[in-house]
Amino acid sequence: MARIPVAQRRREFIDAAVEVIATHGIDGATTRRIAEQAQANVAMLHYCYDSKEDLFADVFEYVATTYRELLTKCDPASGFQETARQLLRAVMEFYLESPNLTVATLELVNWARRQHGDRGIGVYDQAVETSRAMLREAGAGHRIPKRTIDEAAYVIATLADGFAVNYLTYGDRAAAKRQMTVTESVLTSWLAAKLEPVS
């Protein structure tokens, strides 16, 4: 039997941790459950990671990278308002298609806030800062104030996360798809009101 590289095993444990955290929460995410989900033994998990916290640190990095890659696929050349809409739509679609990663992310951020303070904030900050960077690029040359860019990034995050909580609570995919349009219209209205003096 071919030996599985450590890097591949680590990725399998990260994926397994996401699934276990989504199902059982942080307190229920034991090394045994994570190893079983990854179809490995606990000894292999401890060979790859010194502690569960080390594994969770890699899960945080995976989450941060996932959001960064998701947001940077949007096209700043489409203009400020369209870029903002793309950012919101991208996150909502991700939440819709990846509910377990969404649940695990919320669990991890709350756990990190309780245990480590800044680590939970860091993951959230990275996602918001990526949105800000995309919006800054989209607004370059249009005299859009920094405050408006910061507020737009906040509004996008708030609308997307509210959408996520609603979808995770009710689990109604058809309703969630309709609510995407409603949520986008809220952003569009806010942007129109905010940017009118700039125009």
Type of residue numbered 102: T
State the pTM of this model. Answer: 0.89
Q: What is the pLDDT of residue 142?
A: 84
> Where is 179: in which H helix or E strand?
helix 173-195
Q: pLDDT means per 10 residues in the chain (199 residues)?
A: 77 97 94 96 94 90 92 95 97 96 90 72 85 95 91 97 96 96 97 77
Query: How far is Cα 162 from Cα 88, in angstroms, rounded to an integer?
Result: 11
Query: How far is Cα 156 from Cα 162, in angstroms, rounded to an integer?
Result: 10
Residue-range domains of the chain with CATH:
1-49 (1.10.10.60), 56-195 (1.10.357.10)
- In tens, the pLDDT along 107-131 reads 988 888 887 666 667 778 888 999 9
Query: How far is Cα 153 from Cα 135, in angstroms, rounded to an integer?
Result: 8
SS3 label, residue 193? helix
Token output for 150: 């910061």
